[in-house]
Amino acid sequence: METHQMEASGQHPKRLRRKGIPRSIRKKFALPRIVFLRRLLWQQFQIVLGSVIGALGYSVFQVPFKLAAGGVTGIGIILNHFSGFPVGMTFLVLNIPLMFLGFFQLGRWRFAASTALAVLCFSFSTDFFNLYLPNISEKWPITHDLLLASIYAGVLYGIGMGIIYRAGGTMGGTSVPARILHERLGFPLSQSYLFTDGAIIFTAGLVFRWEVALLAILTLILSGIITDFVLEGVSQVRTATIVTKKPEDVRWAILYQLRRGVSLWPIEGGYQRSPRTMVFCTVLRSRVSDLKYCIATVDPDAFMVIGVAQQVVGGYGQRLPAPASENGAPNHVRPATYQGQGN
292-333 pLDDT, tens digit each: 999 999 999 999 999 988 777 776 545 555 554 444 444 444
CA atoms lying within 13 Å on the CB side of residue 219: 35
Helix (H) or strand (E) holding 56, with range, is: helix 33-57
The rounded distance, in Å, linking the Cα atoms of 123 and 55 is 8
CA angle 150, 155, 157 (to 5 degrees): 90
Residues 6+ apart with CB under 8 A from 227: 158, 159, 161, 162, 165, 341
Model pLDDT, residue 175: 76
Q: What percent of the chain has pLDDT over 70?
A: 81
Model pLDDT, residue 189: 64
In what order do the strands lie in the sheet containing 237-244?
Answer: 263-268, 275-284, 237-244, 303-309
The rounded distance, in Å, linking the Cα atoms of 217 and 202 is 10
Across the chain, the runs of DSSP E, i.e. the strands, are 237-244, 263-268, 275-284, 303-309
Domains for the chain: give ranges and CATH numbers.
27-232 (no CATH), 237-309 (3.30.70.120)
Give the model confidence (pLDDT) of 154-171 as tens digits.
Answer: 999 999 988 988 887 778
Give the model confidence (pLDDT) of 30-74 as tens digits.
Answer: 778 888 888 888 888 999 999 999 999 999 999 989 888 888 889
Residues 6+ apart with CB under 8 A from 131: none
- Among the listed residues 339, 262, 341, the one whose alpha carbon sits nearest the alpha carbon of residue 106: 339
Question: Over the chain, what is the mean pLDDT?
Answer: 80
**Whole-prediction pTM value?**
0.73
What residue type is assigned to position 34 of the chain?
I
In angstroms, the first-to-last Cα distance of the chain is 41
Give the model confidence (pLDDT) of 231-247 as tens digits.
Answer: 877 767 899 999 999 99
| Summary count for the chain: helices (H), strands (E) | 13, 4
